[in-house]
Structure 1
Amino acid sequence: MLNVTTANTGPTGQVIDTTRHRALGTVSRASILELTRAADGGLTIAEISARTGLHPSTARSHLDRLVNAGLLVKARSSGGQPGRPAWRYRTVPEEAPAPAPYRALTAALLDHLARQSRGDARAEAVRAGHNWGRHLAAATPRGKKPVDTAMAVLRGLGFDPDLKQTADGHTEIHLYTCPFLELVSQNPDAICGLHVGVVRGALEQAGAPASDAVLEPFGAPTACVVRLSLPSGATRPV
């Protein structure tokens, strides 16, 4: 008898991603995915539990399965509240990733941090990002203001940044694209720490004093937000 093996393909002839297919194999996970897609700023485990009636532990299990399948991404978002922030989940947008060399470098760095950081991968990632940001800013044409140089670095990495001034006079950078999103699930704290380190390093390389920039994942409905505490010289032409 002749055995013929054919590729698993979907209706359009595309090869089925079996990991994602299995992740959506239950009504609960499919419903969670739809709820998360409908929430611009993403949802926490507590919010998913309240909307579905699932126990928080069950909701967490389903969410982690969707994250592992690449259908959701998670990051910590405090919403300005004190204490350790909860995980917030959102769907993965269709977007262009960072150039392959940057992704490979970042993946290698995350792997190194996981093995060497002794439990404080975020702090190590911030330091590594700081050095990387200085290096990138040094190779970037200097802007009229330090923040302009930082914006150019972020654009070069593919973050689609937008500079905003808040009503109380503070400066924010909204990041509408995460070109390293595929790596976030490996270590969300480390990858977000790496990003804020890049901003701090770029600002300092461009002439701004040390900044305590803070990255708020999902700080806006459609963006992550970098909140800057900059002296006036960093926002005025130099």
Structure 2
Amino acid sequence: MSSTQHGLGPTRAKVLALLQSAPVPLQVTEVADELGLHKNSARFHLDALVDSSYARRQTVAAGQPGRPPLAFSATSEAPTMTNLHLLEVTQVLLAQFVAPAENALTRAEQAGRTWGAGIATQDASPADAFGDLVDHLAERGFGTSHDVTTSTLTFARCPFRASIDPEQLPFICAMHQGFLDGYLEASRSGLTAGRIDIGPRTCRAEVTMSA
């Protein structure tokens, strides 16, 4: 999740992610040690999370005389800082409802067309449709850039490549192709996407005017 979605800086986001992944409330020293922060810096970010209602303080029994130490845990109001649950749901759905079908890749591509069409701006000019498509793909983590002279989309990063089981990646690629096709068709801009050239690290697709 990007900082533009949760409004937290990188360090504070790491602190919150650590709280959400911990099975028990964490003390300041534990947060500092785990993330390699100074104790004062860890306390600063924890206090800020409490002020924003993303974390809560509580005392823990220390078993020693003196003031009991404080510990921190994430609240239900805090934004989710990991996409693991979404990736696992994606893999379960692909394994149960897509992979067993005889026309699995076609079904995945059709799902992608529905996905793309659902966010397209209709009756867009070719330039606007192309630019908006680049923006939408970049927002979804595809590391998208484009060459205006050749109308080639380059995907330097796939948000699924390192997270989805390799045998399921063809279904993701098919959905990506469908996303391009569905978006451009729904935009009614006259643009069409060629087949994605899938490389080991970088993928490309040309976008052209319909004949």
TM-score where L is the length of structure 1: 0.45
Kept after mapping to 2: 8 A contact 1:137/1:153:
no
Q: Could you tell me how far apart the structure 1 residues matched to 2:190 and 2:209 are?
A: 8
Corresponding residue for residue 148 of structure 1: 131
- The Cα of 1:106 is off from its aligned counterpart by 3.5
Q: Could you tell me how far apart the structure 1 residues matched to 2:153 and 2:199 are?
A: 12
Q: Could you tell me how far apart the structure 1 residues matched to 2:169 and 2:157 are?
A: 15
- The Cα of 1:148 is off from its aligned counterpart by 1.4
Q: Could you tell me how far apart the structure 2 residues matched to 1:218 and 1:144 are?
A: 27
Q: Could you tell me how far apart the structure 1 residues matched to 2:128 and 2:158 are?
A: 24
- The Cα of 1:144 is off from its aligned counterpart by 5.1
Corresponding residue for residue 91 of structure 2: 107
- The Cα of 1:103 is off from its aligned counterpart by 3.3
Q: Could you tell me how far apart the structure 1 residues matched to 2:99 and 2:133 are?
A: 27
Structure 1 outlier segments of 4+, above 6 Å: none
Corresponding residue for residue 125 of structure 1: 108
Q: Could you tell me how far apart the structure 2 residues matched to 1:101 and 1:143 are?
A: 37
- The Cα of 1:123 is off from its aligned counterpart by 1.4
Letter in 1 for 2:94: L
Letter in 2 for 1:207: R
Q: Could you tell me how far apart the structure 1 residues matched to 2:148 and 2:126 are?
A: 18
- Distance change >3 Å, CA 173–CA 210, structure 1 → 2: closer
Q: Could you tell me how far apart the structure 1 residues matched to 2:165 and 2:203 are?
A: 13
Corresponding residue for residue 226 of structure 1: 205
Query: Per the alignment, in what secondary structure is the counterpart of residue 180 of structure 1?
Result: coil
- The Cα of 1:114 is off from its aligned counterpart by 0.8
TM-score where L is the length of structure 2: 0.50
Q: Could you tell me how far apart the structure 1 residues matched to 2:186 and 2:88 are?
A: 24
- The Cα of 1:198 is off from its aligned counterpart by 0.8
- Distance change >3 Å, CA 128–CA 105, structure 1 → 2: farther
Q: Which of the residues 186, 196, 208 maps onto 2:177?
A: 196
What is the count of residue pairs matched by the alignment? 131
Q: Which of the residues 162, 171, 174 maps onto 2:154?
A: 174
Structure 2 unmatched runs, 5+: 1-33, 35-81
Post-superposition CA distance 1:30-62 (Å, at most 9, x none): xxxxxxxxxxxxxxxxxxxxxxxxxxxxxxxxx
Query: Per the alignment, in what secondary structure is the counterpart of residue 99 of structure 2?
Result: helix
Kept after mapping to 2: 8 A contact 1:153/1:202:
no
Q: Could you tell me how far apart the structure 2 residues matched to 1:191 and 1:213 are?
A: 17
Kept after mapping to 2: 8 A contact 1:121/1:190:
yes
Q: Which of the residues 167, 170, 183 maps onto 2:164?
A: 183
Post-superposition CA distance 1:111-152 (Å, at most 9, x none): 21112x21x3221111110101111335xx999521112112
Greater RCO, CA 8 A, separation 6+: 1
Kept after mapping to 2: 8 A contact 1:216/1:227:
no
Q: CA RMSD in A?
A: 3.6
Letter in 1 for 2:167: Q
Structure 1 unmatched runs, 5+: 1-12, 14-97, 233-238
Identical aligned residues as a percent: 20
Kept after mapping to 2: 8 A contact 1:129/1:196:
yes
Q: Could you tell me how far apart the structure 2 residues matched to 1:149 and 1:104 are?
A: 29
- The Cα of 1:99 is off from its aligned counterpart by 4.6
Question: Max radius of gyration: which structure?
Answer: 2
